[in-house]
């Protein structure tokens, strides 16, 4: 099956009226901000989307994006690949929409003056949020082994504290 490209912008209301679904890709090199937080160029992002109107009459654009990112392990400082998956449910809002009334699952998105939302940007945002703040290899795959360097330091500091029992011993011996 040939994969289509996901549109850069979309009119969610019109898409919902047609019950449009999309299965396609966003080329990784187009996502400049995501590339900026990764150690290498990201691979293509696989996106599946479905649009519709729920029983409350709320227009939604629901989907999932999967990609593989190259990140620098903060433990051994070598790059590794990791798969990142995000799920989202956008709903377009106008000025008159009450955001408070939206069900929690919906993420309100402001539309442009043409009623469009910037789909690539929104999916890129979701992926950036999903990137770990301190990326590290999975246990057993790290070049530093599974020992955590910073945790070891904390233990050392604790050992330097005076032992309360030692103090008691001193008092007893006086
Ligand atoms: Zn590592």
What is the tens place of the pLDDT at every residue in 78-101?
999 999 999 999 999 876 666 777
Distance between Cα 131 and ligand 1 center (Å): 16
Nearest to 87 by CA among 116, 54, 47: 47
Distance between Cα 145 and ligand 1 center (Å): 8
Q: Looking at residue 164, what is its pLDDT?
A: 61
Distance between Cα 150 and ligand 1 center (Å): 14
Q: What is the pLDDT of residues 23-53, one digit of tens each?
A: 999 999 999 999 999 988 788 999 999 999 9
Stated pTM of the model: 0.78
Distance between Cα 31 and ligand 1 center (Å): 25
- Domain range enclosing 51: 4-139
Residue 123 falls inside a structural domain: yes
Q: Is the pLDDT of residue 54 over 70?
A: yes
How many independent structural domains does the chain possess? 1
pLDDT: which is higher, 9 or 152:
9
Q: Is the pLDDT of residue 112 over 60?
A: yes
Residue 64 falls inside a structural domain: yes
Distance between Cα 83 and ligand 1 center (Å): 16
Residue 144 falls inside a structural domain: no
Distance between Cα 160 and ligand 1 center (Å): 29
Q: Please give the Cα distance from 168 to 166 (Å, whole number).
A: 5
Percent of the chain topping pLDDT 70: 79
Distance between Cα 141 and ligand 1 center (Å): 7
Residue 172 falls inside a structural domain: no
Residue 153 falls inside a structural domain: no
Distance between Cα 76 and ligand 1 center (Å): 4
Residue 33 falls inside a structural domain: yes
Q: Is the pLDDT of residue 1 over 70?
A: no
Residue 174 falls inside a structural domain: no
Distance between Cα 129 and ligand 1 center (Å): 21
Distance between Cα 138 and ligand 1 center (Å): 8
Distance between Cα 43 and ligand 1 center (Å): 21
Distance between Cα 109 and ligand 1 center (Å): 37
Residue 173 falls inside a structural domain: no
């Amino acid at each position: 099956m040939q994969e289509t490209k996901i549109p850069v912008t979309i009119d969610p209301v019109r898409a919902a009226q047609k019950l449009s679904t999309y299965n396609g890709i966003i080329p990784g090199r187009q996502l400049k901000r995501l590339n900026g937080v990764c150690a290498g160029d990201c691979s293509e992002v696989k996106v599946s989307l479905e649009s519709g109107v729920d029983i409350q009459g709320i227009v939604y654009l629901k989907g999932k994006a999967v990609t593989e990112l190259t990140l620098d392990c903060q433990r051994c400082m070598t790059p590794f690949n990791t798969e990142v998956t995000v799920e989202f449910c956008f709903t377009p809002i106008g000025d008159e929409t009450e955001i408070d009334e939206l069900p929690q699952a919906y993420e309100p998105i402001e539309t442009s003056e043409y009623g469009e939302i910037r789909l690539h940007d929104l999916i890129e945002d979701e992926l950036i949020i999903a990137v770990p703040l301190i990326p590290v290899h999975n246990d057993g795959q790290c070049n530093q082994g599974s020992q955590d360097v910073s945790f070891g330091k904390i233990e050392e500091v604790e050992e330097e504290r005076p032992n309360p029992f030692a103090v008691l011993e001193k008092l007893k011996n006086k």
